Amino acid sequence: GSDPKAVYSIWKKMVDRFFKGGHDGIANDAISALDVAMWDLRSKVNEEPLWKTLGGSKKPINAYASDIALPLNDEKLGIWYKKMAKNYGFKSAKLKVGLDQDSDLRRLEIMRNALSINNDDPILYIDSNEYWSPKQTIRKVSEMEERFTLGWIEEPARRWDFLGLKKVSDALKTPVCAGENLDTLGDFLPYFHHRSADVIQVSHGMTGITGALQIADVAYGLELPITLGGSAGILHAHIASAIPNCITIEIPHPEPETKVYKWDVKIENGLAVLGDKPGHGITIDYEELNKSVVNKISVKSGPSPYGRRAGAGLYEVPPTKDEIKEANSK
């Protein structure tokens, strides 16, 4: 019975309802999804694009290409980054690191060479996905800094290790980027209090749009930049337009990979160009969706199909023969 335009009020009711049990995990995921839906509905009622409802402008948003698939061999990795640079004009990109230092150094060179068609000095981001300990990060990234200028090291320690993240930030020239797996403004407070991250990363899948704006406001007051993690349909470009301290957004997929859905945000010259369609601009073809119905879902279809490797963050774990074989088979 609530007015769907009263987004903040609805958000507050949801988080208050789950307060005692903790609005994290699945409960938080549901709140975030509903919050995004409410903002989409509100902008459609207003007959305007989401970015306008959020108070943003249509100024193009800086973006970077993101290699989500770690198990790509060197040749295919180079082809992928060259495609991102040539077809979409990306001048910055991110590489998953952590499995093997020699491979990481070699693949960073591959990424830089691919991007150099658009920029003699492309911005190179790296993401270790909480795989290393703070001291491992300092040692490994220090070696990388001898050959590369890095835009940031993402998640260089476990998400709750705000003192470890601070240690990394103090020890390296490379900025620390962290936060994409945190749920609420309260979760970010230790980061803000201890200056644990130089770049605050927010994912609306974890925070919703309302939470993302709250976190960005606090970061703005502390003169900390914001980046938004990857988003289906490049929906996060709408949010970024309303965040004055957002420096870039992650783009794993510049265009739809299937016929199931499409969106009206375009990637041109390494920038996200917003559309004018009411709402978030994502449309679903339900006939195509019905063709994709499955009876079983594999555990490997989740966000982290392989989990965390034994010993990660505690001691050096060389890649196994099977891992190397899989990486070179893609």
**Which tens digit of pLDDT belongs to each residue from 17-70?**
887 777 677 888 999 999 999 999 999 999 999 999 999 999 999 999 997 666
- Residue reference for tokens 């201890």: 194
Assess whether 119 and 170 both reside in one domain: yes
Query: Within a domain: residue 329?
Result: no
Angle of helix 204-221 relative to helix 7-17, nearest 10 degrees, comes to: 110
Q: Mean pLDDT throughout 112-118?
A: 96
Full residue range of the structural domain in which residue 21 is found = 7-49
Q: Check pLDDT > 60 for residue 305.
A: no
97: which DSSP letter? -
Q: Mean pLDDT throughout 202-209?
A: 94
Q: How many domains does the chain have?
A: 2
Q: Is the dihedral of CA 315, 123, 193, 304 positive or negative?
A: negative
pTM over 0.75: yes
Give the tokens for residue 60.
């193009």
For the segment 285-298, what is each residue's pLDDT rounded down to a tens digit? 999 999 888 777 76
301: which DSSP letter? G
Query: Within a domain: residue 304?
Result: no
State the pLDDT confidence band at 320, using cuts at 50, 70 and 90. confident
pLDDT of residue 69: 61
> What is the distance between the alpha carbons of residues 124 and 115, in angstroms, rounded to a whole number?
9
- Count CB atoms within 10 A of the CB of residue 27: 16
Query: Within a domain: residue 306?
Result: no
**H or E segment to which residue 87 belongs:** helix 74-88
Query: Within a domain: residue 18?
Result: yes
pLDDT of residue 240: 98
Q: Check pLDDT > 60 for residue 330.
A: no
- Partners of 326 in the beta sheet? none
Q: Mean pLDDT throughout 193-207?
A: 96
For the segment 211-220, what is each residue's pLDDT rounded down to a tens digit? 999 999 999 9
- Residue reference for tokens 């694009």: 49
For the segment 228-240, what is each residue's pLDDT rounded down to a tens digit? 998 889 999 999 9
State the pLDDT confidence band at 300, using cuts at 50, 70 and 90. low
Q: Check pLDDT > 70 for residue 279.
A: yes
Assess whether 41 and 153 both reside in one domain: no
Query: Within a domain: residue 316?
Result: no
Assess whether 165 and 246 both reside in one domain: yes
Assess whether 145 and 192 both reside in one domain: yes
Q: Check pLDDT > 70 for residue 322.
A: yes
For the segment 129-185, what is each residue's pLDDT rounded down to a tens digit? 999 999 999 999 999 999 999 999 999 999 999 999 999 999 999 999 999 999 999
Query: Within a domain: residue 324?
Result: no
SS3 263: strand
Give the tokens for residue 52.
């306008």
Assess whether 189 and 245 both reside in one domain: yes
Assess whether 37 and 59 both reside in one domain: no
State the pLDDT confidence band at 127, using cuts at 50, 70 and 90. very high
Assess whether 179 and 33 both reside in one domain: no
Q: What are phi and psi of 263, to 5 degrees?
A: -145, 165
pLDDT of residue 96: 94
- Residue reference for tokens 């307060």: 19
Query: Within a domain: residue 1?
Result: no
Assess whether 212 and 281 both reside in one domain: yes
**Residue 36 · residue 208 · CB < 8 Å:** yes
Report the chain's mean pLDDT, rounded to a whole number. Answer: 91
Assess whether 12 and 55 both reside in one domain: no
Give the tokens for residue 283.
């449309």
